[in-house]
Amino acid sequence: MREIEALVAYTTVLPYARPNGVVVVGHSAGGWATVAYDSRPHPKVVAMVSMAGGRGGHYHEVAHDNCRPDQLERAAGIYGATATTPMLWIYAANDSFFSPEIAAAMYAAFTQAGGKAEFDQLPVFGSDGHMLFNRNGGSAIWGPLVARYLAERLGGS
């Protein structure tokens, strides 16, 4: 989270950047950090996207094995209790790090604790849906979801 905070602080003072209206997007551990960051004050940020967010996947280098999904769910509830920015969470059905069950449990804990998020569980993507964000063809799938979310959050600006 401190890294995101430092990046927001740095980029918002650049002469060519807007000082407010920041969009934070993270993938995998970065997506999870984005969820955590939402739980802290972030006055310059207006939108946050978590793509396949989580930690602990591929436990002992084994696909479809997460070391502590119960702790991810618990942490999501803690983050949701103080989250302030409505988020967009995107996962694919064949994510080898965070199964649909794990992703749905995190989302439920986050929103039941008060966090606001749209959850999109997308169909199978390639051989591992965890790579939806950064593989060829992925942006054609998640791009429209992100564009719609940003239009809602930024008011068409």
Task: Please say if the pLDDT value at position 157 is more than 70.
Answer: no
Task: Please say if the pLDDT value at position 155 is more than 90.
Answer: no
Q: Please give the average per-residue pLDDT across 105-112, as a whole number.
A: 98
pLDDT tens digits along 124-149: 999 999 999 999 999 999 999 999 99
pLDDT tens digits along 36-94: 999 999 999 999 999 999 999 888 888 888 889 999 999 999 999 999 999 999 999 99
Q: Are residues 149 and 49 in contact, defined by beta-carbon separation less than 8 angstroms?
A: yes
pLDDT score for 67: 86
pLDDT score for 156: 59
Identify the structural domains of the chain with CATH numbers, from first to last: 2-154 (3.40.50.1820)
Task: Please say if the pLDDT value at position 35 is more than 70.
Answer: yes
pTM: 0.94
